[in-house]
Structure 1
Amino acid sequence: MKNHREGYAMNFELHRDFPESLDEEWTRLLNQAAVHVPFLHPGYLRGWWQTRGGGEWPEAQLALVTARREGELVGVAPLFWTPRAEGGAALMLLGSVEISDYLDVIARPQDLAEFIRGLLAALPGLDLPAWSALDLYNLLDDSPSLALLEAEAAAAGYSAQVERLQHSPFIRLPGDWETYLAGIDKKQRHEIRRKMRRLEESGVPFRWYTADDPDRLAAEVDDFMALMAQDAEKAAFLTPAMRQHLHHTARWALGAGCLHLSFLEIEGHKAAGYFSFDDLNRLWVYNSGMDPAFNAYSPGWVMLGYLLQWANEQGRDEFDFMRGDESYKYKFGAVDRFVMRVRLEC
């Protein structure tokens, strides 16, 4: 349905499904958006919706809101409706909460304020089940949407709360492996070199490679999940719906040209794997898995070393560990940023 409000040049429309006809416009808009991250691609979010976040949201209704100005797509709020555990219901960003590290609304910088203002005005008039909160998770702390949502909330009749959720460390890359190493703590630099050298001088056959054969992709993803499942917490995470989500995400990312699924093999066996996105001149590390049978070779550290060396040599600007404050990230020289939650109550 369409919602017209006086004083706003944007025309808002509610979609109850994912129209594939939007993909080209959506992607073009995302490429110019104030916030551009892999988890906002329509292909990724369509797959997320098919499994409801790997089973995270069993009761949900799609509430995809678009805005047009004179027929041109100028904004997307990828939302869904769901009941809240504390009572009532909320509108949330598709991708929330557990498996999509960074989320936001989508508009060009010059349109973002008008889009958020118009969205907050339009939402109560859309044909949706009753809801009492707009609950937005996983916005980066430097997202311009944060200040705009707070600023526009009162005028639109909402109360706003902003909360810091999680650390999300990253490394700015200098473009040279030795320069990168020289910029981290001396003790950690020696430790990285020592562990990489130990494997390289061990005499055992090893290699690291990136899986990019479409015919082998499903098997490679299964192998990756087998590595993940060596950890009890990750094994519990890998429900059938979550496995389906990871397969879809890998297929989408390969088709979009941004999949970086890499493995370290030792003596012909996969010892470590990293599922990453190579997008926007950054490497975004989505998940990882290790086989403890090869702990003597420190496969996780060694693989990270090779990935960082590759990213520097390929001229990537950043190495993004995404959410989580595990200590090893900081040992590799990561610095903090944070993901935030903005809750607007009616």
Structure 2
Amino acid sequence: MTVTRSDYDDAALRAWWEDAYSSSSLRCDTLFQSLAWNRNWYEHFVRDDPRRELYLLKIESDREIIAVAPMFLQIRSAGPLTAWRYLLFLGDRLAQYTDLITLQAETAPLWHAILQYLEAELPGSWIELHDVLPASTARQADMQAEKTRGETYLRIPLAKLDSTRLPDHCVPHMRREILRARKTFSADSSWRWEAVSAPGEDLVSALMDLNRARFGEASWFAEKLHRDFFNALSGDAGEELLFTVLRHNDDIAHVMVSYTHGTSMLYVLSGMDERFRKYSPGSMNLDRSICHAAEHGYTYFDFLRGDEKYKQEFRPEQRTSEHWTLQSGGPGLRYRIARTAQNLRRGEGERTTA
């Protein structure tokens, strides 16, 4: 088994990746494993950043590609010198379910090969994995890792749900909210709902405008670079980008964005026109979006990372991720310096907010 560093000009790698992804049989199988997602994230957040380098690791057995690790090297400097460096998955912290691109049932050998590559090619560095879930490929490998608690992930199993059963699946407050929203929708023919795959530029722009109007500087779309990335992804993701849109007459009252691939519908973010807040358009849209996922054969409606109250009211399945730090050897000097600096920054932040 060999590990080599490649890039997006590698035609054989791109062809293998597209075929593996289109099979819908990857070990971790979401839009976050697509070539479109990873290439666009690289082009917007890595390529022009002098502190980052692409590490697209191609893993081969008998000269056949069996896996890709889409990573980047994060470089931290002290003046003109490199203080330390470490590998992360492309999309780190933004993408959820970051993992190897592979069809292999046994993934432990892949991770051991990556660590051997790390020791040979990037001595003194390490790998940060920020979303290790129970089904992550790294779980198979018996690797020494520094582990800390991660985030809560929530998703609704859909096998036994439909529009009739969904209200009773929820806690009483959400049950009342859904039934009230359905009554509001049915009583006024001005309300319309639709699911739009491969949305056009006008709808994408409307989402970003509504999200920014609602959240201001806290909106993810407040930065132009983020808007540019999402516009590019919207053009490349095709029908796997799903907008569920609630309109009142010709006005968009609420819009939700989901990524669809494999067995899950991943709810990413939304936008709302505050003029319609009194009608609870978010509940109206969320109800219909979950029912849409069930009707179209998805196994889960996935809320992704975060344990907000409204998510908990759907009585979802809960999983907890872990943060792992992988090293090829014992903790080196640069790693100890990095951790000391990190702890000092964390302590300074706690004193500032106290």
Is 1:61 the counterpart of 2:53? The answer is: yes
Match of 1:207 in 2: 192
Match of 1:102 in 2: 97
C-alpha separation between the residues in 1 aligned to 2:33 and 2:223?
23
Match of 2:246 among 264, 285, 290: 264
C-alpha separation between the residues in 1 aligned to 2:149 and 2:134?
8
Match of 2:301, SS state, is strand
Match of 2:270 among 288, 291, 313: 288
Q: Is the 8 A contact 1:228 1:235 kept in 2?
A: yes
Q: Is the 8 A contact 2:196 2:242 kept in 1?
A: yes
Q: CA deviation at 1:253?
A: 1.7
Match of 2:318, SS state, is coil
Match of 1:336, SS state, is strand
Q: CA deviation at 1:84?
A: 4.0
Sequence identity (%): 24
Match of 1:135, SS state, is strand
C-alpha separation between the residues in 2 aligned to 1:134 and 1:171?
31
Match of 1:306 among 263, 274, 288: 288
Match of 1:250 in 2: 234
Q: Is the 8 A contact 2:245 2:256 kept in 1?
A: yes
Gaps in structure 1 of 5+ consecutive residues? 1-9, 154-159
The residue identity in structure 2 corresponding to 1:194 is: R
Match of 2:204, SS state, is helix
The one-character-per-residue Cα deviations of 1:273-319 (angstroms, maximum 9, x if unpaired) are 11101211321111111111110111111100110121122222110
Q: CA deviation at 1:323?
A: 1.0
Match of 2:219 in 1: 235
Q: CA deviation at 1:46?
A: 0.1
C-alpha separation between the residues in 1 aligned to 2:179 and 2:46?
39
Q: Is the 8 A contact 1:199 1:297 kept in 2?
A: no
C-alpha separation between the residues in 2 aligned to 1:169 and 1:205?
33
Q: CA deviation at 1:213?
A: 6.0
The residue identity in structure 1 corresponding to 2:210 is: L
Residues 218/19 of structure 1: CA separation in 2 closer, same or farther (3 Å cut): farther
The alignment covers a number of residue pairs equal to 320
Gaps in structure 2 of 5+ consecutive residues? 330-354
Q: CA deviation at 1:193?
A: 0.9
Match of 1:161 in 2: 146
Residues 236/17 of structure 1: CA separation in 2 closer, same or farther (3 Å cut): closer
User: How do residues 65-80 of structure 1 correspond to structure 2 at under 5 angstroms?
Assistant: 65-80=57-72
The residue identity in structure 1 corresponding to 2:73 is: W
Match of 1:176, SS state, is coil
Is 1:13 the counterpart of 2:7? The answer is: no
TM score, norm. by length of structure 1: 0.85
C-alpha separation between the residues in 2 aligned to 1:32 and 1:83?
34
TM score, norm. by length of structure 2: 0.83
C-alpha separation between the residues in 2 aligned to 1:41 and 1:237?
22
Q: Is the 8 A contact 1:270 1:291 kept in 2?
A: yes
CA RMSD between the two structures: 2.4
C-alpha separation between the residues in 2 aligned to 1:294 and 1:185?
25
Match of 2:15 among 6, 10, 24: 24
Match of 2:72, SS state, is strand
The one-character-per-residue Cα deviations of 1:92-117 (angstroms, maximum 9, x if unpaired) are 111112x2122012333434111111
Runs of 4+ that moved beyond 6 A: none
The residue identity in structure 1 corresponding to 2:261 is: D
The one-character-per-residue Cα deviations of 1:174-199 (angstroms, maximum 9, x if unpaired) are 24221233322234212211122123
